[in-house]
Structures are given as structure tokens and as C-alpha cells.
Amino acid sequence: TEKIYILAIESSCDDTSAAILCNNKVLSNVVTTQEIHRQYGGVVPELASRAHQQNIVPVVHQALAKANIDKKQLSAIAFTRGPGLMGSLLVGTSFAKSMALGLNIPLIEVNHMEAHILAHFIDDEEMVAPSFPFLAMTISGGHTQIVKVNDYFDMEVLGETLDDAVGEAFDKSAKLMGLPYPGGPLVDKHAKNGNPHTFKFPKPKVEGLNFSFSGLKTSILYFLQRETKENPNFVEENIDDFCASVQYTILEILMGKLELAAEQTGIKQVAIGGGVAANSGIRARLTEAQEKLGWKTYIPKFQYCTDNAGMIGIVGYLKFKEGLFTNQSIAAKARYAI
């Protein structure tokens, strides 16, 4: 059978990544995380574009070297067209166009949100691909979305966040407790030793399958202001129970919407992705749902959950097979719906 080699480029936010795929197998997947943003407690767009500019060539060289592939063997180049930060997207888009032009090979544009979902189809012995139709929930520092996936390129967004992403809710809550950025993994860690029912936070009232997380952040802020006035050591003394309670509230919101989506569509195959899929609480809740609700759940390997070019490459391969190429006049799109 024919071997298709794809070079994939991802630069939508703060990770510069390049991957090489041979058909649906990932041969290399290099990700450079930009440490510069840590000191600011969030991604600074201007700094992100500059870092992409510096990282892109070395990252592509590394991806080729690790895969032991010469650039002359490449069949096509796939890149993230959007959604994301415009300055960041422009670096990957311009690079991909130039390299495809130089090598005289086809160019494939990829929607980052579709890629998070299609990452489940990377051929990997530790992963099982869901069958159509399935529900996909993408949860990360930048996204919170529930999608009905009918086929590779037939998807419907059923609901999404109206304000903050779920990862931001984790990170902002952590920041209020004085934990460093990104606080999500630390909340998860403390939550393991705490009682999730110690503190109660109101759940947002949002119709249908959309989400809202900005109210939670505000109620946590007021709660902490009140408590620390009475006891300045409140956070230190209660960090485990506090993290467990915050995480419990967030998981109740996510699982509530996911269950509603399953009910409305009658679909019991549920796939999740994005950085927050690493959360041990959500993993436990999904396992529980397999037993209690008869769901089949899917979580890709962690390296394919967070932003990475491997997931862009699998979309590149699927589009290559369909002949879905794009031309050199293509432009990046900061807002780009599925």
C-alpha cells in the first residue's frame, strides 16, 4: 500500500509543534511549550507569536530528524488555520505555505477543534477509536465544547462556553488560592486528599448544552475574601477540601451537560480530549458513567490531548485521502467554527 508522509504544524496558542505521520501513524510529535508565559499567569499573545517565530524552524527540523524522514519524501503539509491567536496562527500558516511552495507539494488546512476530536483516530496500540456517531467533549485552557460527530468531516456543535473555558476556571480558581500557573494540575493533586462536599458553590444556570464558568470564579473570589477576613490562614488550612470542592463543582457542570447531550441524542459513545482530560476526577466520573449509564468512553493518550501537531497530522492524512487540499491564497482565521 501507498505510504503518505505528512508534515503537520500547530501554532494556534502557546505551543509550537511539528509532527510527521506515515498514513495514520505518528512517527514524531515535537512540542515546544513556551515557558515565558508562566511569569504572567496566562498567555501573552505578542510574546507567543515571537516565540513561535523562533521555534518553528528548529521544531520542524527535529520532527523530521526524529522520524528519520527527508523533507523530499513528504507528500503534503498540514497546518492549523484556526481558531486561535491571530499572531500565532500567522507564523504556522506562513511557514506551511512557504515550505509547501518550496517543495511543490499540496497544502492542507486544518481546524484546530476538529483536530482535537479526530486525534482519537491516530493509529496507536494504546488507543481505541470510537465509531460514528459519537459525542466529543473538548476541554482545555482555551476550549469547552460538546460536538456530535457523525463522520470525520460531518460534525455539529451542540454546546460551548459562553465565557471562560473550563481550564481557565481551574487556573483562575487556583490563582485565587495562591497556586502558580497553570493551576489545574495542582487543584487535581490537592483534590485527591480533600472532601468534595466541604464547601458549596452555585452552579450556573445556562440553558441547553452551553456552559458558563465566569460566575464560579466570582463566587470563589467573594467566598475567599469573606473567609480570609475571619481567618488569614483559611487557604492553607483548607487547601485540600477547597480544591476538592471546586473540582467537584466543575465536574458536576461538565458531567451534567454531557449527560444531557447523551439523553437528547441517544448516543452513548463519549470521547473527551483537551488538557483538562488529564484530570483524575473527570476520568473517574467517566468510568462511573460506563458502569451506571452504559456509556463507552474514550480518552486519547495525554500527548494527543494537549495541543500538538500529531492531531493536525491525522486530519491532514484523512483530508489527503479525500483530496481536500487548499491553495496558496488561504488565510488564517482567529474565529473558525467547526
Q: Please identify, using beta-carbon distances, which residue of 10 and 124 lies nearer to ligand KG4.
A: 10
CA 80, CA 19: separation in Å to the nearest integer?
12
What's the helix, strand, coil split of the chain in %, to 5? 50, 20, 30
Q: Give the residue at shortest CB distance from Zn ion.
A: 307
**CA–CA dist 176, 333 (Å, integer):** 33
As measured in angstroms, the least distance from the Cβ of 119 to ligand KG4 is 11
Residues that bind Zn ion (CB under 5 A): 140, 307
Per CB under 6 A, does 48 bind ligand KG4? no
d(Cα 100, Cα 108) in Å, to the nearest integer? Answer: 10
Strand 296-298 and strand 269-273: pairing?
parallel
The answer to whether 138 is annotated as binding is yes
CB of 192 to Zn ion, least distance (A): 26
Q: What mask of x and - would describe binding to ligand KG4 in positions 131 to 160, judged by CB under 6 A?
A: ---------xxx------------------
Q: Tell me: is residue 241 an annotated ligand-binding position.
A: no
* Inter-residue contact 151 to 128 (CB < 8 Å): no
Q: What residues contact 32, with CB distance under 8 A and at least 6 apart?
A: 15, 16, 17, 55, 58, 59
Binding ligand KG4 by CB under 6 A: which of 82, 274, 310, 316? 274
- Coil, helix or strand at residue 270: strand
Q: What cell numbers appear for 103 in the block? A: 517543495
Give strand ranges (E) for 172-295: 269-273
* Residue 139 beta carbon to ligand KG4: minimum distance, rounded to whole angstroms: 8
The residues in 229-268 that bind ligand KG4, with binding defined as CB under 6 A, are none
Consult the annotation and say whether 141 binds a ligand.
Answer: yes
**Cβ 178 to ligand KG4 shortest distance, Å:** 15
Q: Where is the binding site, in residues? A: 112, 116, 138-142, 171, 184, 188, 279, 307
Residues that bind ligand KG4 (CB under 6 A): 13, 140-142, 167, 170-171, 182, 184-185, 187-188, 274-276, 278-279, 306-307
